């Protein structure tokens, strides 16, 4: 189990290492997601979203959560507040709420592999490996279709680590702890 968690944490950290294309507010907020292929899309940020980003920079997590929830209420078709909120929940180890945020984001933006990647991590952290594998597979498929090789490789690595963990079975998982 420890090996699976370390792989997932490494995946989360690696995903944020190449975020040079993001704007500075996104970078400082949460650098855990792969780059989404959104050249034609523009985020429809609200003042609440911008305030949430300011709260994050200031380390005021509870206020940020409230601002992002308000931004979602103001513009439920913008996936960004869901994504940032989900990332906050991951960092807080509140995986149930992270899953809810990323699931909602996937309904709003079903073509974004980064959302499914983060959903897979959330499911994996919460111990729901079957759902984690389904989400990881969806992210692999989306990144492949979009010819995004870097994020495809990350998603594939996550999927493979989830598959390897299942191959080892519960006996070997227990022996690693």
Q: How far is CA 87 from CA 3, 29, 76, 124, in A?
A: 22, 9, 17, 14
Coil/strand/helix, residue 161: helix
Q: Is residue 36 part of a domain?
A: no
Identify the DSSP state of 141: H
Question: How many structural domains is the chain composed of?
Answer: 1
Residue 101 CB burial class (10 angstroms; 0-12, 13-18, ≥19): buried
**Domain carrying residue 89:** 2-30+44-172
Q: Is residue 125 part of a domain?
A: yes
Q: Is residue 177 part of a domain?
A: no
Q: Is residue 139 part of a domain?
A: yes
Categorize the per-residue pLDDT at 165 as very low, low, confident or very high, splitting at 50, 70 and 90.
confident
Coil/strand/helix, residue 126: coil
Q: Residues 92, 4, 100, 23: is their CA dihedral positive or negative? A: positive
State pLDDT tens for residues 63-99. 999 999 999 999 999 999 999 999 999 999 999 999 9
* pLDDT above 90 for 8: no
Q: Is residue 120 part of a domain?
A: yes
* pLDDT above 60 for 30: no
Q: Is residue 117 part of a domain?
A: yes
Q: Is residue 23 part of a domain?
A: yes
Please state the pTM of the whole predicted model.
0.74
CATH number, position 11: 1.25.40.10
Q: How far is CA 164 from CA 89, 137, 138, 157, 169, in A?
A: 26, 14, 18, 10, 9
Share of the chain above pLDDT 70, in %: 70
């Amino acid at each position: 189990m420890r090996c699976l968690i370390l792989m997932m944490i490494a995946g989360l950290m690696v995903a944020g290492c190449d975020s040079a294309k993001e704007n500075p507010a996104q970078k400082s907020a949460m650098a855990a997601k792969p780059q989404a292929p959104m050249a034609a899309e523009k985020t429809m940020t609200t003042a609440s979203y911008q305030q949430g980003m300011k709260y994050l920079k200031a380390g005021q997590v509870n206020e940020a959560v409230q601002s992002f929830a308000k931004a979602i209420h103001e513009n439920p078709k913008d996936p960004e507040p869901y994504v940032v909120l989900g990332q906050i929940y991951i960092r807080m180890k509140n995986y149930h709420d992270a899953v809810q945020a990323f699931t909602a984001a996937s309904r709003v933006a079903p073509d974004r592999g980064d959302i499914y990647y983060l959903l897979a991590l959330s499911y994996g952290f919460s111990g729901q490996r079957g759902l984690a594998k389904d989400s990881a597979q969806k992210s692999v498929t989306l990144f492949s279709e979009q010819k995004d090789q870097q994020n495809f490789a990350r998603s594939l690595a996550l999927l493979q680590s989830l598959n390897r963990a299942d191959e080892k079975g519960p006996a070997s998982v227990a022996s690693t702890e």
